[in-house]
Amino acid sequence: MANQSAEVVVEGLKKILISEEGGALDKEVQGKVEQLITELQGRRPGVLPWDTDAQRLENGFDFFKTNIFDKHPEYFRELAEGQHPKFLVFACSDSRVSPSTILNFKPGEAFVGRNIANMVPPFDQLRHTEIGAVIEYAVTALQVENILIIGHSRCGGIERLMSLPDDGSHTHPYDFIDEWVKIGLPAKKKVLEVAGNLPCEEQQRLCEKLSVKNSMANLLTYPYVRDVVANGSMTLRGGYYDFVNGTFEQWRMFGKPMPPRKPTPI
């Protein structure tokens, strides 16, 4: 195959050399020339040698394919027939807080929705419908058994919430973020009531946790969530991932927080 491709390259070069106008290669020859060059450079078609970001994506998929997908064919054959996750997880869009990584979810274990500051708004068929769609599908179609909302340390969305002036003005307003984080205003209000005298960093940390509880309460405004919680077929869970200290704590709705787990020594 390589010899045939090399012959095509040679013939293509001959055409260029003997053409008075330096004529262009036909599409078939040009494609084979490019493919051979790609093979010689050890990269995939469509990935330019200077596009390191594309190469990072290719390398990431190669790792997944070789070390996970190809080693568990039966598992992925079952997934191809349908998904049956036990968890709906809401997490922050923060690149440091990937639920599949920090909780070691396998493909198919968690249906995931991510947004700024991992917030869940109250039920409203006219606003924030993308969140409502995630909840509705996970509860009514997938019939998940748990909804988990994960907050985290040093959350930029919560920091923005805490910095919003009461009059709604801001020297550097955002088009979407400021209105979105206002979902957490009940949590902010509670923080200022009980911890208004604490340093800003401690206020933010408390708000990161109370915002999770606020979103858990908002989940109960969705009728299909309220019904399955009431009949005992679903558990609402909150979590907090501290990526500074490497800890994770969790709690159930109306329950006391469980003690944080310490990282396992490597």
pLDDT in tens, the chain (266 residues): 555 655 665 566 556 555 545 455 566 666 666 666 666 555 666 666 678 899 999 999 999 999 999 999 999 999 999 999 999 999 999 999 999 999 999 999 999 999 999 999 999 999 999 999 999 999 999 999 999 999 999 999 999 999 998 876 777 788 999 999 999 999 999 999 999 899 999 999 999 999 999 999 999 999 999 999 999 999 999 999 999 999 999 999 843 444 555 555 55
Q: Which residues pair with 248 in a beta bridge?
A: 241, 261
Overall pTM surpassing 0.75 (yes/no): yes
Task: Judge contact between 119 and 158, C-beta under 8 A.
Answer: no
Q: Which residues pair with 239 in a beta bridge?
A: 150, 250
* Of 216, 146, 229, nearest in space to 187 by CA: 216
The CA distance from 10 to 29, in Å, is 10
The CA distance from 168 to 181, in Å, is 12
